[in-house]
């Protein structure tokens, strides 16, 4: 694996940062087969490179989501099916961008610092098996650029799942 992420934080736009980061994320996980180890490093690399308030995954476990590897403030450990942004992204199998969490009915506030959020489903064999959740301390911080780039991250995670299914 790569030992560090090489990214000019001060000079690149968020789109450019994603473009520089994504190939490095592939390298980061290519030699390791353990899913949790890879998810831990992916979350750390994304948090460090992109400066998100919080980034992490929730695993689908029976009728609820359970917290997985993350970086940032402490988070809710369990979210019911169809509840919160994460539970709805799971139920509907689609990416949800929330420009203002206070305006989203049913939003679950894990950190009072979170102002906007994006949640993407992670698929394995056409089923949602995890969600990727990213929070920002700024309003309207996520757009189509994030949806596309983070969609590539969920693609990397789906490939990892194909190699080492979640336990
Ligand atoms: N806000 C999420 C809960 C998870 S935390 O943001 C880490 C939601 O409404 O599902």
102-155 per-position pLDDT tens digit: 999 999 998 899 999 999 999 999 999 999 999 999 999 999 999 999 999 999
Task: Give the distance (Å) from ligand 1 centre to CA of residue 143.
Answer: 18
Lowest mean pLDDT among 56-65, 93-102, 105-114: 105-114
Distance, CA of 70 to CA of 52 (rounded, Å)? 11
Estimate the crossing angle of helix 144-163 against helix 14-30, to 10 degrees.
0
| Atom 2 (ligand 1) nearest CA | 108
Query: Is any atom of ligand 1 closer than 6 Å to the C-beta of 68?
Result: no
Burial class (CB in 10 A: 0-12, 13-18, 19+), 64: middle
Torsion of CA 122, 128, 134, 139, to 10 degrees: 120
CATH number 3.40.50.150 is the correct assignment for the domain at 14-163: no
Atom of ligand 1 nearest to the CA of 109: 1
What is the pTM for the complete model shown? 0.95
Residue extents of the structural domains in the chain: 14-163
**What does the DSSP 8-state code read for residue 1?**
-
Ligand 1 in reach of 135 Cβ (< 6 A): yes
Please check whether residue 43 is in contact with residue 24, taking contact to mean a CB–CB distance below 8 angstroms. no
Residue nearest to atom 1 of ligand 1 (CA): 108
Mean pLDDT, residues 87-112: 96
């Amino acid at each position: 694996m790569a030992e560090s992420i090489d990214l000019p934080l001060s000079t690149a736009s968020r789109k450019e940062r994603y473009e520089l980061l994504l190939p490095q994320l592939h390298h980061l996980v290519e030699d390791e087969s353990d899913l949790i180890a890879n998810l831990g490093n992916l979350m750390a690399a994304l948090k460090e490179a992109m400066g998100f308030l919080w980034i992490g995954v929730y695993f689908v476990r029976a009728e609820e989501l359970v917290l997985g590897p993350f970086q940032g403030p402490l988070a809710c450990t369990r979210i019911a099916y169809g509840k919160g942004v994460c539970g709805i992204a799971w139920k509907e199998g689609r990416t949800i961008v929330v420009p203002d969490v206070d305006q989203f009915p049913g939003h679950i506030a894990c950190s009072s610092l979170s102002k906007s959020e994006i949640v993407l489903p992670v698929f394995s064999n056409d089923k949602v098996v995890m969600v990727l959740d990213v929070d920002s301390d700024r309003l309207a911080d996520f757009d189509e650029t994030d949806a596309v780039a983070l969609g590539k991250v969920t693609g990397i995670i789906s490939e990892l799942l194909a190699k080492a299914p979640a336990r």
